[in-house]
Structure 1
Amino acid sequence: MLDIRYFCDDVPAGKRCTSPVTELPADLASMIADTDVGGIVLFANNLVSTKQMVKLNHDIQQASLSAGHDPLFIAVDQEGGRVVRIPHHLGTSFSGNMAIGATAKNSGTQFALQSGEIIAKELLSVGFNVNFAPTVDVNVNPLNPVINVRSFGEDADQVAKLGLAQMNAMQQQGIISSLKHFPGHGDTSVDSHTGLPRVDHDRSTINNTDLKPFKYAIDNSNPGMIMTAHIQYPQLDNSEFIAKDGSKTILPATMSRKILTDLLRTEMGFKGVIVTDALNMAGIAHYFDPTAAVIQTFKAGSDIALMPMPIRSPADIPRIKQLINDVAIAVQQGEISLDELTQSVERLKTLKQQYALNKRVIDNVEEATQIASKVLGAPQHKKIEQKLANHAVVDIANNGVYPIKDSVKKLHLLMPDQTKCMAMTFALKNRHSAFNISCTSLAGKNTDLTKAQQQIKQADLVISADITPQQSMAEMGGMDDIAQWRDRLDKTQQINTLLALMKFAKQQNKASIFISLRTPYNVPQFAPYSDAVLATFAHNTAKHEYVDDYGRLITEFSGPMFNAVADILTGRLEAKGSLPVSIEQ
């Protein structure tokens, strides 16, 4: 299963192709037809407009069908919250799993069910049939750089129930769901995009925490797919292998027969399709060349090798054909069991038949676009998205600072970037037009501290916010983003600047509110300088542009969580959420 995120007719030596595929090039259509590849996964770069998404997915399927092949799996990572690929201004993004976890005490599985149903309807409308979601990792590590708010929380039972509800909702609509990341990515401090994480839990903890959501889904439903994790689990398999650089290390789960076949299939009874996480991630690619990775994961028990090598130019197409040929030789030579490969093919065919993929192929692009335009971001979908945000916000502390008193006129915001400045300002002004609001963006390397301090002095209330941890490659898309990921803003510098300004506000005896916009694990760092603390778990925004009565182009940013926070701060709503993870108080 390949990604076609970027493709260029010619890539000069030493350069990277960064031209997104928004229309299917003839070379890629021929590759699909020639290879009978099993599926395609698309990323945010591939998805621009409703008609464009519909046509791209239509053309991808036609490339396979016109050559006499089965319909393809066409997949996407539309988890909601931190990881979404459909443009925010088109689809319904939701606030993500940890926000859903924050609503569970009062609302049970309501929002897991509703979000799963809506996400599935919107994906189906533009031609997708697989969603690499939900994430059912149990986030027990506050330093987890890649999962955190993508998890429903730290309680395995709650994660299991919410994960099953969301998965069932997706699959009942006709989208194949892929639970991830087996056997669990919740207690890692390393991102498998950049390294090979290791989990040293004992077997009892593995059973009662990491495996529980997967086991619960298998025992109570029929997951279409389960995605592997590039993680070492010595208590499940301590077998070692020789990496391509000659070093010796423990097999990651993706490459472990003990984990994928003996544990997942035999012991846990999973009958569906096993798909690997992207094989081009450093957790695999650092140790295996592409052909060796595919052969090893098939021997371990995987059914789908996801993104084993990049296809970025016509020169890469012979390489993927050679990889397929090399795997075929491995079968002929007995390195891969023909019987097991045949069983794998049957599982794939059964899944495609079970979800009637042949009946879900888009025939008429114009008609499908009209339907999709009514489904994507439908008013009733947006209403539920806002309702989730309203129910998720957690009141961690409030020393009488909100609801904001009538005497408060001037507000100064300390926000992670200009977009958040605009979204928070827009939401507050919409609720109280008399507010005089200024904002300091902390995204730049040279924040004007003198100006910020002057504005704090003049303010009646200071509202600060932080997004921790930083954006991961899973959010950006994948390994194509590693250069941009490495060039991210220095988070330590941003935090130090924010803390310095919050301390200054406290010295000036200014009333202050702190908002955790991602994981609440950062709260203890900022709480000593705050009179009130809120946790939102999300900061999704959408961009809106219009021309005002004076002919000026106006750009605005808004988002459900900013609306919810503004309603809470102005007394229109009560914060109803409960923390789904533990933080130091």
Structure 2
Amino acid sequence: MILGKIVFLINKVFLILALLTTVSCAMKPTADPHLNRLIAQKLMLDIRYYCADAKADENCTTPVTALPPALSQMLTDTGIGGVVLFANNLENTQQMLQLNYALQQAAQRGGHSPLFIAIDQEGGRVVRIPQNLATSFAGNMAIGATYKQYGTKYAQQSGEIFAKELLALGFNVNFAPTVDVNVNPLNPVINVRSYGEDANMVAQLGTVQMAAMQSQGMMATLKHFPGHGDTSVDSHTGLPRVDHALSQIENTDLLPFQYAIDNDAPAMIMTAHIQYPQLDNSEFIAKDGSKVILPATMSRAILTDLLRNKMGFKGVIATDALNMAGIAHYFDETEAVIQTFAAGSDIALMPIAIRSPANIAKVTALINDVAKAVRSGRLSRQEFERSAQRINHLKHQYNIAQFYMQPLEQAVVKASDILAAPQHRMVEQELADHAIVEIKNQGAYPLANKVKNILLSMPDTTKCMAFTLALKNRLSGANVNCLSLAHADKSANMTALKQADVVIAADISPDQSLAELGGMDDIVNWRQRAPKEQQITQQLALLQAAKAQQKTTIFVSLRTPYNTPQFAQYADAVLATFSYNLNKTEHMDDHGRMVIQYEGAIYNALADILTGRKTASGSLPVSVDWKN
């Protein structure tokens, strides 16, 4: 009897243990490789820097110009959907192709679909390919300055050339064009990257440039939705807010995006880390505990209800870089990805920094954390499937696997013929020639051959060299002396001024933003620049002194023309160029010495106009307040 009870109790204990084991196993998340692959395809990483022996918390600044084995294995193991490369990753034609081939081969080894390999090649101040290797163009506002006389000609030609050159290097996504309507003269991040302030003109030029890229097989990206044109804060360093009324949002900010959707088929649209209370005023609790209005990147009302459903966008929605302060200050890395996927983004761009071996594990952890959010019901499995289908469809539609099927050696030869081809450089020069706007000229130019001494005051030494070379090539016998604002010496300025017949001062306003420099990794150098006010004070003092000595004075705005009224009263002539791109060239002279020169299409165009060889034919694409 007692023995029977003991047996009964033992059996009961085993039964309870078995039930507990079953419940425990049921509570553990089951592995779902398919879901993990879906999530990985929705991530796009940057590999700008990597240090194989660095700790996770060290500041690594070693550029990735060849794919390290650890990063290659990460791509093979995880199936990440894409990467974005920066200027630091790009040195020469063969190196760029070898890197892009290695990236695609890493994905192929894991049985994954080809990678999106993206780049920011807008033209003007946002170009990543070395400018001596590829055609960069004067940028969007320069194209806007030609619109009155040439319509969409240069939008189309630049789009085609960008696509041909990028495709030849193995890139398949261009994060361009920018279709923000720049209605704020103080905009620190868009400004000259916009075609102008007229929404209809921006819509036409942006759609034509986008279509031209895509006609060549390059996926284009309209940015930054729902519009970054009226901000006074750079989303790299803060969270901008646009308080436009709904009617202005529809007729200005959204108009270029809607026009492109209605008239063509944008491959991608990039979100903006900007608050738009009239579109979505819902709040969230930031990681510091404060209440903040959702930025567009995190808003389902903006990305799904508006862009996807109301506006009818069928392509892929990619976020702007999630490491920017407009997001990173408020969300931790995992939460940012989950929130933007819940809002309706297809691709999370640069969600975590991969700078060392310790960071690589974070990629797998991120994928697992997002998978948990799907299994818990916070994120929709059905929406993930549809998102992955959009991504896969785009990759197949543009046949991105075709590129790296050709031998690398053959690709290098073809790319060398295509990059900066003579006919491409010719179009680049034509755009520069036709974009320059004459705002004022009271007989200051054409410069006659009798001019013997020209004093230039330029933002830095490289621009001194480029403009000096262009003028000397056109004014035989003229002495051109250039002062760099980076090495200002007031006494030297005044001494040089006494000998000058003509004084030409040039300014870049506003200063370069982080987007133009390359991204958040440049923020330390960006903050250490000389104050802009100091540069302006020096230029004004030089022009005032020149006027007092009855010298001929010319002012050149090398960026946006909003600051020209500040200088116009001291200048006999005022010109706007919208760009200051230049190329570095090296050659050996007859004595075996290495000679370094800087030149650029804009400086050639300026010199031609100032010497009377050509006429300034551009029109201002933005309004200038002459009351200031």
**Shorter-chain TM-score category?**
over 0.9
Deviation of 1:407 (Å): 2.4
Given that residues 265 and 271 in structure 1 are in contact (C-alpha distance below 8 angstroms), is that contact kept between their aligned partners in structure 2? Answer: yes
State yes or no: 1:484 paired with 2:535.
no
State yes or no: 1:372 paired with 2:419.
no
C-alpha distance in structure 1 between counterparts of 2:353 and 2:408, whole Å: 28
RMSD (CA atoms): 0.8
Given that residues 449 and 476 in structure 2 are in contact (C-alpha distance below 8 angstroms), is that contact kept between their aligned partners in structure 1? Answer: no
Name the residue aligned to 1:81: 124
Name the residue aligned to 1:517: 558
State yes or no: 1:105 paired with 2:148.
yes
What SS is found at the alignment partner of 1:361?
helix
Given that residues 112 and 166 in structure 1 are in contact (C-alpha distance below 8 angstroms), is that contact kept between their aligned partners in structure 2? Answer: yes
State yes or no: 1:179 paired with 2:222.
yes
Given that residues 58 and 362 in structure 1 are in contact (C-alpha distance below 8 angstroms), is that contact kept between their aligned partners in structure 2? Answer: no
Deviation of 1:466 (Å): 0.1
C-alpha distance in structure 1 between counterparts of 2:421 and 2:364, whole Å: 42
Given that residues 137 and 428 in structure 2 are in contact (C-alpha distance below 8 angstroms), is that contact kept between their aligned partners in structure 1? Answer: yes
Name the residue aligned to 2:36: none
State yes or no: 1:469 paired with 2:514.
no
Deviation of 1:199 (Å): 0.2
Name the residue aligned to 1:22: 65
State yes or no: 1:388 paired with 2:431.
yes
1:114-147 deviation line (CA, Å, top 9, x unaligned): 0000000000001000000000000000000000
Deviation of 1:13 (Å): 7.2
1:206-244 deviation line (CA, Å, top 9, x unaligned): 000000000000000000000000000000000000000
Aligned pairs for 1:86-97 (under 5 A) are: 86-97=129-140
Name the residue aligned to 2:288: 245
Name the residue aligned to 1:452: 493
C-alpha distance in structure 2 between counterparts of 1:368 and 1:449, whole Å: 53
Q: Which moved more, 1:491-500 or 1:514-523?
A: 491-500
State yes or no: 1:570 paired with 2:611.
yes
Pairing partner for 1:71 from 114, 135, 141: 114
Deviation of 1:269 (Å): 0.3
1:144-175 deviation line (CA, Å, top 9, x unaligned): 00000100000000000000000000000000
Given that residues 180 and 253 in structure 2 are in contact (C-alpha distance below 8 angstroms), is that contact kept between their aligned partners in structure 1? Answer: yes
Aligned pairs for 1:397-546 (under 5 A) are: 397-444=440-487, 447-546=488-587
Letter of the aligned partner of 2:500 in structure 1?
A: A
C-alpha distance in structure 1 between counterparts of 2:413 and 2:530, whole Å: 41
C-alpha distance in structure 2 between counterparts of 1:451 and 1:15, whole Å: 43
Deviation of 1:358 (Å): 1.9
Given that residues 416 and 466 in structure 1 are in contact (C-alpha distance below 8 angstroms), is that contact kept between their aligned partners in structure 2? Answer: yes
Given that residues 449 and 475 in structure 2 are in contact (C-alpha distance below 8 angstroms), is that contact kept between their aligned partners in structure 1? Answer: no
C-alpha distance in structure 2 between counterparts of 1:323 and 1:316, whole Å: 11
Letter of the aligned partner of 2:603 in structure 1?
A: F
Distance 1:221 1:56, change over 3 A: same
Name the residue aligned to 1:42: 85
What SS is found at the alignment partner of 2:348?
coil
Aligned pairs for 1:54-69 (under 5 A) are: 54-69=97-112
Given that residues 129 and 176 in structure 1 are in contact (C-alpha distance below 8 angstroms), is that contact kept between their aligned partners in structure 2? Answer: yes
What SS is found at the alignment partner of 1:265?
helix
Deviation of 1:433 (Å): 2.3
Select the structure of larger CA radius of gyration. 2
Pairing partner for 2:312 from 269, 285, 294: 269
Deviation of 1:406 (Å): 2.8
Given that residues 164 and 216 in structure 1 are in contact (C-alpha distance below 8 angstroms), is that contact kept between their aligned partners in structure 2? Answer: yes
Deviation of 1:362 (Å): 4.7
C-alpha distance in structure 2 between counterparts of 1:41 and 1:153, whole Å: 27
What SS is found at the alignment partner of 1:139?
coil
Given that residues 55 and 356 in structure 2 are in contact (C-alpha distance below 8 angstroms), is that contact kept between their aligned partners in structure 1? Answer: no
C-alpha distance in structure 1 between counterparts of 2:384 and 2:586, whole Å: 52
1:432-480 deviation line (CA, Å, top 9, x unaligned): 1211111110013xx1111111111111100110001111110111111
Pairing partner for 1:217 from 260, 271, 275: 260
Aligned residues: 583
Deviation of 1:12 (Å): 4.8
Given that residues 132 and 584 in structure 2 are in contact (C-alpha distance below 8 angstroms), is that contact kept between their aligned partners in structure 1? Answer: yes
Letter of the aligned partner of 1:324 in structure 2?
A: I
C-alpha distance in structure 1 between counterparts of 2:80 and 2:238, whole Å: 28
C-alpha distance in structure 1 between counterparts of 2:143 and 2:484, whole Å: 29
State yes or no: 1:192 paired with 2:235.
yes
Pairing partner for 1:547 from 588, 593, 614: 588
Deviation of 1:551 (Å): 2.4
C-alpha distance in structure 2 between counterparts of 1:86 and 1:229, whole Å: 24
Letter of the aligned partner of 1:552 in structure 2?
A: R
Letter of the aligned partner of 1:316 in structure 2?
A: N
Given that residues 58 and 363 in structure 1 are in contact (C-alpha distance below 8 angstroms), is that contact kept between their aligned partners in structure 2? Answer: no
What SS is found at the alignment partner of 1:241?
strand
1:307-350 deviation line (CA, Å, top 9, x unaligned): 00100011000011101110011001110001111110111011
Given that residues 71 and 361 in structure 1 are in contact (C-alpha distance below 8 angstroms), is that contact kept between their aligned partners in structure 2? Answer: no
C-alpha distance in structure 1 between counterparts of 2:402 and 2:457, whole Å: 51
State yes or no: 1:138 paired with 2:181.
yes
C-alpha distance in structure 2 between counterparts of 1:408 and 1:350, whole Å: 63
Q: Which moved more, 1:472-481 or 1:233-242?
A: 472-481
Given that residues 127 and 362 in structure 1 are in contact (C-alpha distance below 8 angstroms), is that contact kept between their aligned partners in structure 2? Answer: no
Letter of the aligned partner of 1:509 in structure 2?
A: Q
Name the residue aligned to 2:208: 165
Deviation of 1:66 (Å): 1.5
Deviation of 1:549 (Å): 1.3
Q: % of aligned pairs identical?
A: 65
Letter of the aligned partner of 1:506 in structure 2?
A: K
Given that residues 131 and 175 in structure 1 are in contact (C-alpha distance below 8 angstroms), is that contact kept between their aligned partners in structure 2? Answer: yes
Name the residue aligned to 1:208: 251
Deviation of 1:64 (Å): 0.2
Deviation of 1:360 (Å): 2.4
State yes or no: 1:584 paired with 2:625.
yes
What SS is found at the alignment partner of 2:404?
coil
Given that residues 56 and 355 in structure 2 are in contact (C-alpha distance below 8 angstroms), is that contact kept between their aligned partners in structure 1? Answer: no
1:281-313 deviation line (CA, Å, top 9, x unaligned): 000000000100000000000000000010001
C-alpha distance in structure 2 between counterparts of 1:306 and 1:462, whole Å: 47
Name the residue aligned to 1:355: 398
Given that residues 225 and 271 in structure 2 are in contact (C-alpha distance below 8 angstroms), is that contact kept between their aligned partners in structure 1? Answer: yes
C-alpha distance in structure 1 between counterparts of 2:114 and 2:56, whole Å: 36
Given that residues 275 and 294 in structure 2 are in contact (C-alpha distance below 8 angstroms), is that contact kept between their aligned partners in structure 1? Answer: yes
Deviation of 1:14 (Å): 5.5
Deviation of 1:10 (Å): 2.2
What SS is found at the alignment partner of 2:575?
strand
Given that residues 54 and 357 in structure 2 are in contact (C-alpha distance below 8 angstroms), is that contact kept between their aligned partners in structure 1? Answer: no
C-alpha distance in structure 2 between counterparts of 1:370 and 1:547, whole Å: 25
Distance 1:342 1:13, change over 3 A: closer
Name the residue aligned to 2:354: 311
Consecutive unaligned residues in structure 2, runs of 5 or more: 1-43
